[in-house]
Amino acid sequence: MKKIEHIGIAVSDIEQANSNYAELFNSTPYKEEEVASENVRTSFFMMGDSKIELLQATSEDSAIAKYIQKRGEGIHHIAYAVDNIIAERERLINAGFQAIGDIKNGADNKLVCFFHPKSANGVLVELCQERG
């Protein structure tokens, strides 16, 4: 793993959250997009070399909607940049980490995969690799 790529924060209202974080960071999101396959709307803020991703559910059955319903708004996941997502996913599975689903297209031009919080002391782990 190379670095923390971003921290994902689940929010109920992305417009309100964008305004709040724009004030906090004294900047605006550099990118906003919808990821239909995950039923989320996202926005990204730069923080030095790392990013903050805000995620709002676009469907009541999305993972973000379920997360907010159960835990409320807040940190949803930590994403780590990798050079080879296939090899890193396999390495973690072999080390006993529980993968959630397969590698798929994510926001911000990334391939992504996730590991269950039970595998990482209560933290949902995302691996991301730039799509070529």
Summarize pLDDT for 5-19 with one digit per residue, the tens: 999 999 999 999 999
pLDDT of residue 6: 96
pLDDT over 90 at 48, yes or no: no
Q: Copy the structure tokens of residue 78.
A: 């930590």
Strand 74-81 versus strand 99-105 pairing type = unpaired
- Closest by CA position to 31, among listed 109, 111, 118, 87: 109
Q: What are residue 88's phi and psi, to 5 degrees?
A: -65, -40
3-state SS assignment for residue 2: coil
